[in-house]
C-alpha cells in the first residue's frame, strides 16, 4: 500500500509544478517539462506497485445481503447473509431488534428478530478491522390491507369490503372495479354481484393500493383444486331412435348406462376384446338437450378421477327420492333449505328419504343426486344385461385407463362408500358430466 501512496504523491507534485510554471509564463518552460517528465518516470521506476495490494483489498471485504429489510407492525424474523473473509462483529443500536449472531468469521446467515411496534428505523453495522457494511431495517412499514383478498359470491349477493392502513390512520380509499358488469362497488366499499364472471376490486389512497379478486358463480358449485365445477342436472342419456344425447329428467331415476369412453358411439355394446372405442372419447363432445335447452358440443365433460374424489370430500350420503336409491352430494356452497334435514354418511337407503317437492328444494340449493343405476355387462349368450339396479352406483370418470382393456371407475353400495377401481371397458356404467365455472 505504501508504494501506491508514493506513486500518487509524485504524480500530484509533478502536475502542481507544471501548472505553476505555466502561470508564471517562464521562457524556459520546455526544459522544465522535460526535467519533470524524468522525475515522473523515476517515481514509477523507483516505487513499483505492490502485487499483493489487490489480494489484501479482497480479503478485507465484508458484504451484506440484502441491504434493506422491512417488517410489518407485528414484527417477525428475517435472514441476512454476511459474506466475509476475516472475523466480523455486528452493532445493533435499537432495543426492538436482536440478532442470533453478533460475531463470526467467513460467510454466515444471521437471523434478525424484530419485536412488534410502531414505525421505526435503525441501521445494523457489520464490520471487521478494515471494512464495514450496513443494513437498514424498517419496522411497521406502512401499507394498506383489505378484510379479504378473494371472494366468491352468487348473483345478486352483496358484501362489504373494509380497507385499513397498517399504522391505524384513517382510511377512506377510492374504490374501483375492473369489470362493472360483473361487480359494482360504491364509495363505502359495498360490493354488488351483478352477473356471473370475475372482477378485481381495487382500493387506493395516498399511493397505497390493495386488491380483492371477486368471482360470481352459479349456486351449487364444487371446488376441485383451483377449479369450480357445476354438475349436470341429470345423468347422461342417449336416444337410439333419434341418435341424440340428453340429461335424465327427473334427476332421480335409474337411467342410461354407457361403455368406457364411448362418446363417439354412446350406444356401443361391444363384447370383451372387441373395442370400438380403444381411444377415449368424452360424452360431452356431443350436443346434449335438457328441458328445452340444447347445449352445444363440448359444453360438458366427464370429471377427472381427482375431481370426482374432490366432490366426494364434501358431505354426501345414501338417500332415497320417490323410491329411487342413490347418493346425494352437497356442494361447496351448501346452505340447508328450510324444513330439510340431512344425515351425512353411508347407512342404508332409508335414512335420507325425500319426496319430489323436498328434493326440488335441495336441488335448487345445489345438491346433486347420483342414482344407483347398477351396471351393464355383455356376453356371447346375452349381449346386454343390467345388474344391481337400485343396489349400487357405478360411474365412469374421464379417460383414465389402467390397462389396454380396463378403465378407472367409481362404485359404492348403501353401506360401502365410493371407491375407485379398474374395470373392463365393455362394462356399462352411469355417466355424470360437469362444466367449469
pLDDT in tens, 167-178: 888 999 999 999
pLDDT for residue 404? 76
Model confidence at 43: pLDDT above 70 = no
The distance of Cα 134 from the centroid of its chain, to the nearest Å, equals: 36
Model confidence at 25: pLDDT above 60 = no
pLDDT for residue 383? 58
CA–CA separation, 247 and 250 (whole Å): 9
E strands, 180-300, where? 183-185, 190-193, 197-205, 208-216, 222-224, 227-231, 236-239, 244-247, 258-259, 288-290, 293-295
Inter-residue contact 100 to 78 (CB < 8 Å) = no
Neighbour count for residue 16 (Cβ, 10 Å): 9
Q: Decide: helix, strand or coil at residue 246.
A: strand
pLDDT band (50, 70, 90) for residue 10: very low
CATH classification code of 144-216: 2.60.40.1080
CA–CA separation, 160 and 192 (whole Å): 9
- Tens digits of residue pLDDT in 272-320: 555 555 688 999 999 999 999 999 999 999 999 999 999 999 999 999 9
pLDDT band (50, 70, 90) for residue 352: very high
Q: What percent of the chain is modeled with pLDDT above 70? A: 83
Residue identified by cell 389512497 is: 205
CATH of the domain spanning 59-139, picked from 3.40.50.10070, 3.30.200.20, 3.40.50.1950, 2.60.40.10? 2.60.40.10
User: Helices 2-24 and 29-46, interaxial angle, to 10°?
Assistant: 180
Of 405 and 250, the one with more pLDDT: 250
pLDDT for residue 173? 97
pLDDT for residue 379? 57
| Dmax (CA) of the chain | 130
Neighbour order of strands in the sheet with 375-377? 258-259, 428-429, 375-377, 385-387
Of 86 and 367, the one with more pLDDT: 367
Q: In the predicted model, what is the mean pLDDT of the chain?
A: 85
Model confidence at 133: pLDDT above 60 = yes
Inter-residue contact 347 to 341 (CB < 8 Å) = no
Task: Name beta bridge partners: 398.
Answer: none
Instruction: Report, in angstroms and rounded to the nearest whole number, the Rg of the chain calculated over CA atoms.
Output: 39
Neighbour order of strands in the sheet with 406-413? 392-395, 406-413, 419-424
pLDDT for residue 402? 65
Neighbour count for residue 196 (Cβ, 10 Å): 14
Task: Name beta bridge partners: 211.
Answer: 202
Amino acid at each position: 500500500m505504501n508504494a501506491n501512496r508514493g506513486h500518487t504523491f509524485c504524480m500530484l507534485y509533478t502536475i502542481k509544478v507544471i501548472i505553476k510554471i505555466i502561470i508564471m509564463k517562464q521562457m524556459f518552460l520546455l526544459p522544465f517539462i522535460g526535467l519533470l517528465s524524468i522525475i515522473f518516470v523515476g517515481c514509477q521506476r523507483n516505487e513499483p506497485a505492490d502485487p499483493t495490494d489487490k489480494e489484501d483489498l479482497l480479503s478485507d471485504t465484508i458484504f451484506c445481503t440484502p441491504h434493506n429489510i422491512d417488517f410489518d407492525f407485528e414484527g417477525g424474523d428475517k435472514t441476512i447473509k454476511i459474506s466475509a473473509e476475516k472475523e466480523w462483529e455486528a452493532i445493533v443500536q435499537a432495543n426492538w431488534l436482536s440478532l442470533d449472531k453478533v460475531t463470526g468469521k467467513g460467510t454466515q446467515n444471521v437471523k434478525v428478530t424484530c419485536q412488534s411496534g410502531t414505525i421505526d428505523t435503525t441501521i445494523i453495522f457489520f464490520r471487521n478491522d478494515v471494512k464495514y457494511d450496513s443494513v437498514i431495517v424498517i419496522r411497521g412499514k406502512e401499507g394498506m390491507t383489505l378484510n379479504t383478498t378473494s371472494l366468491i359470491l352468487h348473483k345478486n349477493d352483496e358484501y362489504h369490503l373494509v380497507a385499513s392502513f397498517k399504522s391505524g390512520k384513517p382510511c377512506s380509499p377510492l374504490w374501483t372495479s375492473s369489470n362493472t358488469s360483473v361487480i359494482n362497488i360504491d364509495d363505502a366499499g359495498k360490493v354488488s354481484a351483478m352477473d356471473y364472471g370475475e372482477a378485481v376490486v381495487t382500493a387506493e389512497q395516498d399511493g397505497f393500493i390493495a386488491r380483492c379478486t371477486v368471482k360470481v358463480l352459479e349456486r351449487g358449485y364444487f371446488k376441485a383444486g383451483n377449479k369450480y365445477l357445476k354438475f349436470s342436472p341429470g345423468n347422461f342419456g342417449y336416444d337410439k331412435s333419434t341418435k341424440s344425447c340428453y340429461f335424465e329428467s327427473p334427476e332421480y331415476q335409474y337411467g342410461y348406462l354407457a361403455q368406457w369412453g364411448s362418446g363417439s358411439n354412446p350406444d356401443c355394446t361391444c363384447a370383451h376384446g372387441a373395442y370400438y372405442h380403444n381411444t377415449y372419447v368424452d360424452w360431452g363432445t356431443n350436443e346434449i338437450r335438457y328441458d328445452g335447452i340444447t347445449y352445444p358440443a363440448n359444453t360438458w365433460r366427464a370429471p377427472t378421477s381427482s375431481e370426482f374424489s374432490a366432490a366426494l370430500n364434501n358431505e354426501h350420503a345414501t338417500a332415497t327420492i320417490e323410491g329411487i336409491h342413490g347418493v346425494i352430494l352437497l356442494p361447496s356452497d351448501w346452505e340447508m333449505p328450510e324444513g330439510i334435514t340431512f344425515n351425512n354418511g353411508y347407512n342404508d337407503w332409508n335414512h335420507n328419504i325425500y319426496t319430489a317437492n323436498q328434493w326440488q328444494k335441495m336441488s335448487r340449493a345445489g345438491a346433486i343426486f347420483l342414482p344407483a343405476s347398477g351396471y351393464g355387462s355383455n356376453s356371447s349368450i346375452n349381449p346386454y344385461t343390467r345388474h344391481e339396479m337400485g343396489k349400487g352406483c357405478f360411474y365412469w370418470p374421464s379417460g383414465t385407463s389402467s390397462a389396454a382393456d380396463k378403465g378407472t371407475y367409481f362404485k359404492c353400495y348403501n353401506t360401502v362408500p365410493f371407491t375407485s377401481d379398474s374395470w373392463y371397458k365393455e362394462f356399462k356404467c352411469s355417466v355424470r358430466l360437469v362444466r367449469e365455472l
